[in-house]
Structure 1
Amino acid sequence: MFEALSSSFSNAIRKIRFKDDEKALKKALSELKKSLLKADVHHKVVKELLQRVELDTKRAGIGKENFLKALEKNLTEILSVPGKQGFVFASKPPTVVLMTGLQGSGKTTTTGKLAYYLKLRKKKVLMVAADLQRVAAVEQLKQIASQIEVDIYADENEKDPVKIAKNALDMANKNLYDVLLIDTAGRLAIDEELMKELKNVKNAVNPDEVFYVADSLTGQDAVRSAATFNNEIGITGVILTKYDGDSKGGVALGIAHQIGVPLRFIGTGEKMPDLEVFIPERITGRLMGAGDIESLAEKTAAVIDEKKAKKISKKLQKGKFNFEDFLEQLESLKKMGSLKSLIGMIPGLSNMAGALKDIDLDNSKEIKKIRAMINSMTPKERQNPDLLNNSRKRRIAAGAGLSQQEVNKIIKQFNNAAKFAKKFSGKKGMQDLQNMMNQMKHMNIPR
């Protein structure tokens, strides 16, 4: 997501090699300016950030460490505006959320992603199909609801979105839903009719949140449209979509600062798990190459059942980890979203994210081969990998459409992974892993 910007910051930092070198500081700031403008950060935001960084660096004394600290501090401040972070629940359920945005911004898909995010956190969610302008919107939301197994309220006989929203709210109150997500109409451009409809829906349900869904690929147009929606309707947060396809990435740096409304989530891929909470301090860490262990831990906790994790840990310690466990862990990883976004959270590995953009935990050839191989095993073979002699491997290879060499390679990878996992499965191993992660988190990667 942020590899282009992160690389730019690293290049700027490298310009400062000696202390009290004003020429080097000017070169670093010039490099930073070019990179930020190229990344589509608004020129006023760029100017303000550079002025702050220069002032703080000179105040502390010109040097690489002070420049880095000034950049980190001011980046966080630019990304931060007063308001909520992530998803905040109302004191009395249901929390009512109005999803707004222009056509093509990914609003309906984002409604599904947000529902999935909340479902993983054990919340009872009702999605509402109140976008009656786009012909396929209701059907699209129905398909998403079926895919993620979340309830939906839709009434194809009703043509008034206000009545649909009010009826859905009654249903949410009666059936004790935690969250009500209302997918509203969009237009190809902002017009009076759209604003009137959204205001009527808003007045009818009195939402706790009004999220504006913006397409990051539209750059500064996303900022301008978000500002208009905020002035006309009043929004409480922005969700940026298609951020995985935005090689520039600069819109995320300026949108909150420019419109005075917090950026709450970022869409990092096409699949339902690909939605991340936007927390300025954590994003700054990723931009500076320090990763984001907290977000990675939260994603893991939401997906992996604690009891199952303890059971797997005990199996690993006893050397009884099998292919059924392995397949279960692969399915858990799928729920965490794209591999690229996960790698970007690990300290020191964010620069690898670009190289992994085409690896898909659902569709990569390697993952498909592993699934095919395991599905070609008998239950006994899955539970006891030691049974896999040459004749069994030949049968499995034939059933999975693989060569025996490919089967041997996967089994070798499985054994190596099991050995590595066993090393970190005990108390001492987990402590060693935690210490290693803490050390990586505080490493000055780009310096």
Structure 2
Amino acid sequence: MAMFDSLSKRLDGIFNNLGGQGKLTEEDVNTALREVRLALIEADVNLKVARQFVDRVKEKAIGSDVMGSLTPAQQVLSIVQEELIEVLGGTGENNRLDLGGSPPNIIMLVGLQGSGKTTSAAKLANYLRKQGQRPLLVAADMYRPAAVNQIKSLGKQLNIPVYSEPMGADPVDICVNALDYAREQAISVMILDTAGRLNIDERMMNEVTNIRARLKPREVLLVADAMTGQEAVRVADDFNKAVSLTGMVLTKMDGDARGGAALSIRSVTGVPVKFMGMGEKTDALEPFYPDRLASRILGLGDVLSLIERAQESIDQEEALKAQAKLQQGKFDLEDFLNAMHQLKRMGPLRQVMEMMPGFNKIAQMPEMEEALEGDHLKYIEAMILSMTKEERRNPDIIDGSRRKRISRGSGTTVQELNQLLEQFKEMRTMIRQMSSGKGPWAQMARQYGGGAGIPGMPGLPGSKSGKKTGKAVRKEKRKQKSKSGKR
């Protein structure tokens, strides 16, 4: 994610240098860890947290097991990953929402103005509905007139009910009345959007303390702007002392900042981060998994999140059709365009690519940087849509005069079209090799599991995943035939 770009690049460089040393000495490890400490401090990680982190890694790394191993640099990287997971919150269940009480379970959101609290309330309601819950949003911010209208508008957009009362009503009474309403409507989760201030003050804290005492929410989540850095850590500490937080939602994690707050908050306050806001859209909220974020920061990818996002976004019927064509070694520009549309549904290209192992190295290529930041995909789409159906299905017929017509129609140059067709040919070769199980691309796919588990990616022939995929496609075809027969 953009927030950790500079830290990821620094750590990647450090471990590349360490890997090039061969057998490591204690001085090699000390030098590398000094660089790690500097990288963490430059990323705005709390000074004490950075020092303790490096000390723990050093204690584990400088030992005969690591120094005498055949892959000492990999061992040190593994230790750094373990410690990074621990700093971010460990692998326990305390970073998951506790909704185990009798409904309606109450989630209370607190925070300063401008942190994205009202938007986060709507995102959280949307997320919980997808998990099978029946959420209710409660407009309890009576000090910012636009807050009530904003949450009503978001509720209407998402088709999620909102409980509100006229301006001037007491926020504590609003929450109590909303609880009665929630019970009547068989609501399972109630999300309270409480008032924020520009700064923490006594009146604000008294209000949230009173709401907490009266309603006894299962979760009290602080919504904090990750881009404010160590200020977010201080705010978290103050709120925790006043209302005993159960967790945090860090917003603007897709922003271009140093990201040290996310690495410091859990260690400084003891409060687990439970969600990350990854953009302005109402579905741009992700559960916070310390192990997955640690992998992303170290450039090791996050394949589990990639699979989950693909399963949510990709049309399964389209994916099955694509699998069937890929297994037959068929792939044309229409399929490529469909794949692009499916990819766009998964979110911004950079966010999707960040989940791929080795992204740090790929992202440093000038052409990849341009593709991730610019409108590269729009130009590709324009070029393909400027072709006839026959040209999309059989790109080999696109001669010189056709190329001039397509480039004129798409507002691109013939050179750009040539580049697209060349890249497409390479991709088609890759897919045919993977489908046949022969060639360098097939060998690489076998090494990484043959794409099993990601919708639209076929398993290799002869592999267990390949057999299952083939059966799944044939079974789906039989079901479709059976359905059409019944009609």
Identify the match of residue 138 of structure 1 among 148, 165, 171. Answer: 148
Aligned to 1:4: 6
Aligned to 1:273: 283
User: Residues 138 and 154 of structure 1 are in contact (CA less than 8 Å); yes or no, is this contact kept in structure 2?
Assistant: no
Identify the match of residue 161 of structure 1 among 144, 149, 171. Answer: 171
- Taking structure 1 as the reference length, the TM-score comes to 0.79
Aligned to 1:77: 86
CA distance change for structure 1 residues 401 and 171 in 2, over 3 Å: closer, same or farther? farther
Q: How far does the alpha carbon of each residue in 1:10-47 deviate from its partner, in whole angstroms, 9 at most, with x for none? A: 33332472535232222112211211111111111111
Q: For residues 173 and 385 of structure 2, what CA distance do their matches in structure 1 show? A: 49
Report the Cα offset of residue 198 of structure 1.
1.3
Aligned to 1:443: none
Q: For residues 352 and 368 of structure 1, what CA distance do their matches in structure 2 show? A: 21
Q: Which amino acid aligns with 2:272?
A: P
Moved more, 243-252 or 35-44: 243-252
Identify the match of residue 250 of structure 2 among 234, 240, 243. Answer: 240
Moved more, 320-329 or 336-345: 320-329
Aligned to 1:445: none
Q: Which amino acid aligns with 2:171?
A: P
CA distance change for structure 1 residues 173 and 306 in 2, over 3 Å: closer, same or farther? farther
Identify the match of residue 359 of structure 2 among 333, 349, 357. Answer: 349
Residues 1:304 and 2:308 are matched in the alignment: no
User: Residues 138 and 163 of structure 2 are in contact (CA less than 8 Å); yes or no, is this contact kept in structure 1?
Assistant: yes
Q: Which amino acid aligns with 2:52?
A: E
Q: Which amino acid aligns with 1:288?
A: L
- Report the 3-state secondary structure (helix = DSSP H, G, I; strand = E; otherwise coil) of the residue aligned with 1:213: strand
Aligned pairs for 1:45-444 (under 5 A) are 45-59=49-63, 60-62=65-67, 63-80=72-89, 84-147=94-157, 149-158=158-167, 159-314=169-324, 332-352=342-362, 365-368=375-378, 402=411, 435-438=446-449
Question: Structure 1: where are the runs of 5+ without partners?
Answer: 441-447
Q: How far does the alpha carbon of each residue in 1:219-264 deviate from its partner, in whole angstroms, 9 at most, with x for none? A: 1111111011111111111111112224312211111111111111
CA distance change for structure 1 residues 169 and 353 in 2, over 3 Å: closer, same or farther? farther
CA distance change for structure 1 residues 386 and 32 in 2, over 3 Å: closer, same or farther? closer
CA distance change for structure 1 residues 66 and 393 in 2, over 3 Å: closer, same or farther? closer
Q: How far does the alpha carbon of each residue in 1:81-117 deviate from its partner, in whole angstroms, 9 at most, with x for none? A: 5652344433544432111111111112222332333
Q: For residues 210 and 135 of structure 2, what CA distance do their matches in structure 1 show? A: 23
Aligned to 2:28: 24
Q: For residues 228 and 56 of structure 1, what CA distance do their matches in structure 2 show? A: 34
User: Residues 273 and 337 of structure 1 are in contact (CA less than 8 Å); yes or no, is this contact kept in structure 2?
Assistant: no
Report the Cα offset of residue 331 of structure 1.
5.4
Identity of aligned residues (%): 37
User: Residues 115 and 150 of structure 1 are in contact (CA less than 8 Å); yes or no, is this contact kept in structure 2?
Assistant: no
Q: For residues 184 and 104 of structure 1, what CA distance do their matches in structure 2 show? A: 13
**Structure of greater Rg:** 2
CA distance change for structure 1 residues 12 and 172 in 2, over 3 Å: closer, same or farther? same
User: Residues 126 and 181 of structure 1 are in contact (CA less than 8 Å); yes or no, is this contact kept in structure 2?
Assistant: yes
Moved more, 313-322 or 387-396: 387-396
Q: How far does the alpha carbon of each residue in 1:184-203 deviate from its partner, in whole angstroms, 9 at most, with x for none? A: 11101111111122122223
- Taking structure 2 as the reference length, the TM-score comes to 0.74
Report the Cα offset of residue 160 of structure 1.
2.3
Q: For residues 141 and 360 of structure 1, what CA distance do their matches in structure 2 show? A: 33
Moved more, 183-192 or 266-275: 266-275
Aligned to 1:444: none
Q: Which amino acid aligns with 1:211?
A: L
CA distance change for structure 1 residues 377 and 65 in 2, over 3 Å: closer, same or farther? closer
- Report the 3-state secondary structure (helix = DSSP H, G, I; strand = E; otherwise coil) of the residue aligned with 1:244: coil
Q: For residues 119 and 393 of structure 1, what CA distance do their matches in structure 2 show? A: 48
User: Residues 343 and 352 of structure 1 are in contact (CA less than 8 Å); yes or no, is this contact kept in structure 2?
Assistant: no
CA distance change for structure 1 residues 77 and 136 in 2, over 3 Å: closer, same or farther? same
Q: For residues 374 and 55 of structure 1, what CA distance do their matches in structure 2 show? A: 56
User: Residues 83 and 261 of structure 1 are in contact (CA less than 8 Å); yes or no, is this contact kept in structure 2?
Assistant: no
Q: For residues 345 and 106 of structure 1, what CA distance do their matches in structure 2 show? A: 25
Q: For residues 155 and 141 of structure 2, what CA distance do their matches in structure 1 show? A: 15
Q: For residues 207 and 312 of structure 1, what CA distance do their matches in structure 2 show? A: 47
Q: How far does the alpha carbon of each residue in 1:95-141 deviate from its partner, in whole angstroms, 9 at most, with x for none? A: 32111111111112222332333344454333222222222222222
Report the Cα offset of residue 205 of structure 1.
3.1
CA distance change for structure 1 residues 424 and 144 in 2, over 3 Å: closer, same or farther? farther
Report the Cα offset of residue 291 of structure 1.
0.8
Q: How far does the alpha carbon of each residue in 1:339-387 deviate from its partner, in whole angstroms, 9 at most, with x for none? A: 22221111011444587788789xx645555777899999xx69x9579
User: Aligned pairs, how many?
Assistant: 434
Question: Structure 2: where are the runs of 5+ without partners?
Answer: 452-487
Moved more, 13-22 or 244-253: 13-22
Q: How far does the alpha carbon of each residue in 1:385-408 deviate from its partner, in whole angstroms, 9 at most, with x for none? A: 57999999999999x875696899
Q: How far does the alpha carbon of each residue in 1:265-286 deviate from its partner, in whole angstroms, 9 at most, with x for none? A: 2223333333222212222222
- Report the 3-state secondary structure (helix = DSSP H, G, I; strand = E; otherwise coil) of the residue aligned with 1:214: strand
Q: Which amino acid aligns with 1:336?
A: M
Q: Which amino acid aligns with 1:3?
A: D
Moved more, 126-135 or 50-59: 126-135
Report the Cα offset of residue 337 of structure 1.
2.8
Q: For residues 425 and 93 of structure 1, what CA distance do their matches in structure 2 show? A: 50
- Report the 3-state secondary structure (helix = DSSP H, G, I; strand = E; otherwise coil) of the residue aligned with 1:181: strand
Q: For residues 435 and 360 of structure 1, what CA distance do their matches in structure 2 show? A: 28
Output the aligned Cα RMSD: 4.1
Report the Cα offset of residue 289 of structure 1.
1.7
